[in-house]
């Protein structure tokens, strides 16, 4: 029978192991290796002084920037940002109204 203290130590060890895996995943070379293994292209360009710059799909980068800016403009509307609406349908309706207001500016 496993004691309470042993279970706590075991769960703490598992949590530390999960954190270690997570930290390893967010290392830049691990991410780039994963992207290369999936035969995908990079979206974010390297710094100008990078030793080994990687190729970037600039069209996708511009599209990504456009989407990020659109979400930022939607956040100007406090009601969308704080999500006061209880129902999904009324929230979506206000998102549509906010998008129309942005387009009409």
**Residue 32: what pLDDT?**
75
CB 16 within 8 A of CB 29: no
Record the tokens describing residue 30, joined without a space.
């691990």
CB 85 within 8 A of CB 79: yes
**Which segments of the chain have a pLDDT < 50?**
7
- Rounded Cα gap, residues 96 and 42, in angstroms: 31
In a domain, 46, yes or no: no
In a domain, 49, yes or no: no
What residues are paired with 81 via a beta bridge?
none
In a domain, 48, yes or no: no
- Tell the residue number behind the tokens 């279970």, with chain if given: 7
Same domain, 36 and 60: no
pLDDT in tens, 73-85: 888 887 777 777 7
Q: Give the predicted TM-score (pTM) of the model.
A: 0.52
Residue-number span of the structural domain to which 86 is assigned: 54-105
CB 98 within 8 A of CB 91: no
- Tell the residue number behind the tokens 């906010």, with chain if given: 98
Same domain, 98 and 64: yes
């Amino acid at each position: 029978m496993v004691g309470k203290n042993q279970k706590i130590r075991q769960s703490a060890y598992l949590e530390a192991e999960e954190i270690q895996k997570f930290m390893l995943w967010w290392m830049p070379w691990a991410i780039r290796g994963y992207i290369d293994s999936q035969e995908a292209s990079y979206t974010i360009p390297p710094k100008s002084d990078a030793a080994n710059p990687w190729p970037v799909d600039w069209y996708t980068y511009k599209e990504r920037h456009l989407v990020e800016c659109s979400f930022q403009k939607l956040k100007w509307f406090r009601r969308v940002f704080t999500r006061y609406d209880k129902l999904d349908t009324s929230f979506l309706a206000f998102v549509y109204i906010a998008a129309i207001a942005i387009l009409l500016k």
